[in-house]
Amino acid sequence: MKIGVLTGGGDCSGLNAVIRAVTKSAMYHFGWQVVGIQDGFQGITSQPPNVHVLDLHEVSGILDRGGTILGASNRGDPFNYPMHDEDGKPLLDEEGKQIRQDISDRLAENMRSLGIKALVVVGGDGTMRLANRLHVEKGMNIVGVPKTIDNDLGGTDITFGFNTATQIVTDATDRLHSTAESHHRVMIIETMGRYAGHIALNAGLAGGADIILIPEIEWTVEKVAAVIKERRRMGRRHTIITVGEGAKPKGGQLVTHGKLVEDSVIAERLGGIGHWLREALEDLIDLEVRVTVMGHTQRGGTPTAFDRNLGTLLGHAAVLAVHDKKFGQMVAIQGTQIVTVPLDLASRTRPVDPDSEAVRAARGTMVSFGD
């Protein structure tokens, strides 16, 4: 028996824990061979496939490493694959647009030629959508493992990578408190999270933010300014604002980098709401406003113990799911139990519930959501 494992989408802490668990569990429990596929789906669609056999030596000592030893990619959709010539230059049509083809049959054929009987796919919502389509349309034996710092996948209570990202933002917030207080400034901390506010909410709550702005709760700049002024009237001369990159003011637009990555599963690149908010606030308050964009620091570095353990649990569970032929499923954690759910459920995003206990606790401890 030979199985493959790949890591798709953006990287995050905990991926190596999954790879390690898949490899060790498959070899120890069932005597299977594990093939590592480089750079997500690109590795299995390339000619020849960019793969190699994983052994115990390669996965030893990687539990505490960030990133992924297999490489990750959020490009290379096999159903809409960008074509290149022999020199690697994009092939263009008569209108100057890059030519795209459905090469999913090549992917399936490469799997068969390599003797890979099942594939463990680790990724977020975009990766799970592709995995589900490959299972349904091409009959591929696939088990999914949920990964994203955004924590917005359906079917699971939490994704690995989220805990580490939240801790990184919390640590930064702790440090910004002292400099904000010293200089009587308003500090804006912009987090990742895309269209869900899980990181901003949880890191803001843990870091003692005074204002938390997330996509799920409508807010206005005027209300944010009013909260800052009220804090100053009460003798609080600094304010910490945590804002998710997908947050937008009531009636406003998402702030993006203005560039679409056409061959990516997720073409739109969010970012810049922190600086937009700073400019808007400076017309309404007389305090200095500074912005810290956390960016890709949230993806990198040593994973927390929680993410190492969750990655290990899910990686082991994925191998058991392959053994039990639970294909078209994703392993997930619900409560304290590891379960399997359909891949199509996993591809649905899970936003913050505005009436959740975390939001209630924040409001109850004088945190404003700008509404």
Ranking 93-97, 118-122, 244-248, 267-271 by mean pLDDT, the lowest is 267-271
Residue 268 covered by a domain? yes
What is the Cα–Cα distance from 185 to 192, expressed in whole angstroms? 23
233: exposed, middle or buried (C-beta count within 10 Å: 0-12, 13-18, 19+)?
exposed
Q: What is the mean pLDDT of residues 340-353?
A: 90
Residue 367 covered by a domain? no
Q: Over 90: is that where the pLDDT of 281 sits? A: yes
pLDDT the model gives residue 74: 82
HSE, side-chain direction, 13 A CA sphere, residue 334: 11
Q: Read off the pLDDT of residues 174-188 as tens digits, 9 standing for 90 and up.
A: 999 999 989 999 999
Confidence of residue 38 (pLDDT cuts 50, 70, 90): very high
Q: Read off the pLDDT of residues 333-342 as tens digits, 9 standing for 90 and up.
A: 999 999 999 9
Best mean pLDDT range from 66-75, 77-86, 155-164: 155-164
What is the separation of C-alpha 347 from the centre of its chain, rounded to a whole number of angstroms? 13
pLDDT the model gives residue 222: 97
220: exposed, middle or buried (C-beta count within 10 Å: 0-12, 13-18, 19+)?
middle
Residue 356 covered by a domain? no
> Are residues 194 and 177 part of one domain?
yes
Q: What is the mean pLDDT of residues 271-290?
A: 94
Select which of 150, 152, 307, 344 is catalytic. 150
Residue 354 covered by a domain? no
304 CB-near residues (< 8 Å, 6+ apart) = 13, 163, 164, 167
Ranking 36-40, 165-169, 282-286 by mean pLDDT, the lowest is 282-286
Confidence of residue 95 (pLDDT cuts 50, 70, 90): confident
Annotation says 150 is catalytic: yes
pLDDT the model gives residue 33: 98
Confidence of residue 348 (pLDDT cuts 50, 70, 90): confident
What DSSP string describes 295-349? GGGGT-SPPPHHHHHHHHHHHHHHHHHHHTT-TTEEEEEETTEEEEEEHHHHTSB
> Are residues 287 and 191 part of one domain?
yes
Q: Read off the pLDDT of residues 194-212 as tens digits, 9 standing for 90 and up.
A: 999 999 999 999 999 999 9
Q: Specify the DSSP element, H or E, that contains 278.
A: helix 273-282
Domain count along the chain? 2
> Are residues 341 and 275 part of one domain?
no
State which of 270, 299, 328 marks the end of a domain: 299
Q: How far is CA 130 from CA 70, 110, 243, 280, 336, in A?
A: 19, 17, 30, 40, 28
pLDDT the model gives residue 75: 79
Q: Over 60: is that where the pLDDT of 239 sits? A: yes
Query: What pairs with residue 293 in β-bridges?
Result: 190
> Are residues 275 and 329 part of one domain?
no
Q: What is the mean pLDDT of residues 6-16?
A: 94
pTM confidence score: 0.93
φ, ψ at 250 (rounded to 5°) = -55, 125
Paired tokens of 10: 């953006």
Ranking 23-37, 87-101, 310-324 by mean pLDDT, the lowest is 87-101
> Are residues 181 and 329 part of one domain?
no
> Are residues 176 and 148 part of one domain?
no
Confidence of residue 83 (pLDDT cuts 50, 70, 90): confident
pLDDT the model gives residue 257: 72
pLDDT the model gives residue 258: 61
Q: For residue 102, give the CATH number of its domain.
A: 3.40.50.450
> Are residues 132 and 206 part of one domain?
no
What is the Cα–Cα distance from 115 to 118, expressed in whole angstroms? 9
Q: Over 70: is that where the pLDDT of 266 sits? A: no
pLDDT the model gives residue 90: 85
What is the Cα–Cα distance from 51 to 360, expressed in whole angstroms? 48
State which of 299, 316, 332 marks the end of a domain: 299
Q: Over 60: is that where the pLDDT of 346 sits? A: yes
What is the Cα–Cα distance from 51 to 90, expressed in whole angstroms? 24
> Are residues 64 and 109 part of one domain?
yes
Q: What is the mean pLDDT of residues 239-251?
A: 95
Q: Specify the DSSP element, H or E, that contains 273.
A: helix 273-282
Q: Over 70: is that where the pLDDT of 263 sits? A: no
> Are residues 168 and 134 part of one domain?
no
Q: Over 70: is that where the pLDDT of 98 sits? A: yes
- The rounded mean pLDDT for the chain is 93
Output DSSP code: residue 13.
T
pLDDT the model gives residue 165: 97
Residue 368 covered by a domain? no
> Are residues 35 and 147 part of one domain?
yes
What percent of the chain is predicted at pLDDT more than 90? 82
Residue 316 covered by a domain? yes
Q: What Rg do the C-alpha atoms of the chain give, in angstroms?
A: 22
- Ordered alpha helix ranges (H), 74-220: 104-114, 125-138, 162-183, 198-206
pLDDT the model gives residue 264: 52
Paired tokens of 83: 């074509």
Ranking 197-201, 302-306, 345-349 by mean pLDDT, the lowest is 345-349
Other CB atoms within 10 A of residue 171 CB? 14
pLDDT the model gives residue 37: 97
> Are residues 197 and 57 part of one domain?
no
> Are residues 177 and 122 part of one domain?
no
φ, ψ at 81 (rounded to 5°) = -85, 130
Angle 254-152-74 (CA atoms, 0-180°, nearest 5)? 75
Residues in the chain: 371
Q: For residue 236, give the CATH number of its domain.
A: 3.40.50.460
Residue 26 covered by a domain? yes
What is the domain extent for residue 317? 2-160+303-346
Residue 334 covered by a domain? yes
